């Protein structure tokens, strides 16, 4: 990890934090001595780096001089500024390097000497072709953790195939169990597999750093995007192995409990009901006037209730359909039964619970002014994370970061002349 003097130098070069998003107690974030080189694009690797930056890591985003991270152009933009990048690029300093150019390769190796973690998502063999594989990086810095995030992992028959999260959502079994029973397999309209892989990658990085604290040596993290989403799908492989059971598409229902569905209220809104706990299932049926069903032998287990989902849905859905959403929510809350309104993003930003948690927080951005985005992922009572700044322009910090490496203005100009910057 970096020395204190290096850390102080870096802080003088970094953009000023947002006063709205930085808590007074965040002066000593837990990852403040960590330096991460983010070489990855779209989306798992960069999001993992964002999560580390949220808790103080000095994240240096390395982008190609002529091909910025594609997330800068994904989704809606305002005044020509990509909004997705403002979220994904927050708490990162941005530099440009052409890693395939000799000057770019040499500069990356110099940066790697100062770093704790490198996160990349090139196809296997690409870094090696540029002379930046594990052998070269670990020789330059034996304590380095090289984190390799790819669709299929570093080996195996598919390892060299191009892959995006969509393919992981298909191959993991997620799409096969999502959607209505008589409809097609359904993909999510957002980066689900990438986001799950990002969470897993940040966990893997911190695990590797904990190992380094004991051994003094870095190592390679091999993260395949097809694997974390399979993990969160639950015991499906175990069910198939032991019972030959293949989970079908059930829409909003579950094979594990009922009633569990979305229901439309009298005023045209939607609510979601879950009864994973037996006591909650009993409260729901008593609330809707069907206490007689609670006494049925099959009602005593989640599996038994799931086998009678049509009857239970008719009872619960019929009761909800005759009442406006406000009345339904109030009745369920009074009965201590589990229910939630089905929100879109407009509801999320106005919800009092989200507001109390500051889940969607405001950040001062030099390009766009005050902007709102999701806050850091969790709260720590003593060393909280913070959004210090939103995503910065392409290459905005190149000169500052290279100057920290001891490069002179002439050195930097020479790299630009070579096309490495």
CATH 3.40.190.170 for domain 4-232+358-418: no
Please tell me the predicted confidence (pLDDT) of residue 329: 97
Residues 316/259, Cβ–Cβ less than 8 Å: yes
Four-CA torsion 13, 18, 19, 23, nearest 10 degrees: -90
Residue with the two structure tokens 């009633």: 259
Please tell me the predicted confidence (pLDDT) of residue 5: 34
pLDDT digits 0-9 by tens, 319-352? 999 999 999 999 999 999 999 999 999 999 999 9
pTM score, two decimals?
0.90
Rounded Cα distance between 312 and 281, Å, is 10
Rounded Cα distance between 264 and 242, Å, is 38
> Average pLDDT, stretch 39-54?
96
- Give 394's DSSP letter: T
For residue 275, which of 74, 77, 387, 293 has the smallest C-alpha distance?
293
Q: In the numeric block, which tokens belong to residue 119?
A: 């996160």
> According to CATH, where is 3.40.50.10540 located in the chain?
4-232+358-418
Residue 361 CA: distances (Å) to CA of 8, 86, 112, 373, 388: 28, 13, 33, 6, 12
CATH for 261-348 is 3.30.1540.10
Please tell me the predicted confidence (pLDDT) of residue 42: 86
Residue with the two structure tokens 């829409």: 251
Rg value, the chain, Cα: 25
Q: What is the DSSP string of 150-170?
A: ESS-SSSTTTTS---HHHHHH
Residues 322/289, Cβ–Cβ less than 8 Å: no
pLDDT digits 0-9 by tens, 178-233? 999 999 999 999 999 999 999 999 999 999 999 999 999 999 999 999 999 999 99
Catalytic residues: 194
Share of the chain above pLDDT 90, in %: 91
> Average pLDDT, stretch 98-118?
95
> Average pLDDT, stretch 222-249?
96
pLDDT digits 0-9 by tens, 272-285? 999 999 999 999 99
Please tell me the predicted confidence (pLDDT) of residue 16: 54
């Amino acid at each position: 990890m970096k020395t204190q003097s290096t850390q102080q130098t870096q802080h003088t070069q970094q953009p000023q934090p947002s006063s709205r998003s930085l808590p007074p107690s965040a002066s000593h974030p837990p990852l403040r001595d960590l330096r991460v080189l983010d070489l990855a694009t779209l989306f798992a690797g960069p999001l993992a780096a964002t999560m580390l930056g949220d808790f103080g890591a000095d994240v240096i985003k390395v982008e190609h001089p002529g091909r910025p991270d594609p997330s800068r152009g994904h989704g809606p933009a305002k005044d020509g500024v990509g909004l997705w990048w403002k979220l994904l690029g927050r708490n990162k300093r941005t530099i440009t390097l052409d890693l395939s150019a000799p000057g770019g390769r040499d500069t990356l190796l110099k940066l790697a000497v100062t770093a704790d973690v490198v996160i990349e998502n090139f196809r296997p063999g690409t870094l090696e072709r540029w002379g930046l594989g594990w052998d070269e990086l670990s020789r330059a810095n034996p304590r380095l953790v090289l984190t390799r995030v790819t669709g299929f992992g570093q080996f195996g028959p598919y390892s060299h195939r191009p892959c995006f999260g969509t393919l992981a959502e298909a191959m993991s079994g997620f799409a096969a169990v999502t959607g209505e029973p008589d409809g097609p397999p359904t993909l999510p309209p957002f980066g689900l597999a990438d986001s799950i892989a990002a969470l897993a990658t940040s966990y893997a990085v911190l695990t590797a750093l904990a190992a380094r604290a004991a051994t003094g040596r870095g190592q390679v993290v091999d993260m395949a995007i097809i694997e974390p989403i399979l993990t969160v799908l639950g015991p499906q492989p175990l069910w198939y192995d032991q019972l030959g059971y293949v989970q079908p598409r059930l829409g909003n229902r579950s094979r594990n409990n009922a009633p569990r569905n979305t229901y439309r209220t009298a005023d045209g809104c939607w609510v979601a009901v879950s009864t994973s706990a037996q006591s909650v299932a009993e409260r729901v049926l008593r609330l809707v006037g069907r206490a007689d069903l609670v006494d049925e032998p099959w009602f005593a287990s989640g599996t038994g209730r799931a086998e009678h989902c049509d009857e239970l849905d008719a009872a619960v859905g019929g009761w909800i359909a005759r009442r406006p959403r406000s009345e339904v929510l109030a009745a369920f809350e009074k009965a201590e039964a589990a229910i939630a309104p089905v929100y879109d993003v407009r509801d999320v930003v106005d919800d009092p619970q989200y507001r109390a948690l500051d889940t969607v927080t405001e950040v001062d951005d030099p390009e766009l002014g005050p902007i709102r985005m999701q806050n850091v992922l969790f709260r720590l009572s003593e060393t909280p994370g913070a959004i210090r700044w939103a995503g910065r322009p392409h290459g905005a910090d190149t000169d500052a970061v290279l100057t920290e490496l001891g490069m002179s203005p002439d050195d930097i100009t020479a790299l630009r002349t070579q096309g490495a910057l």
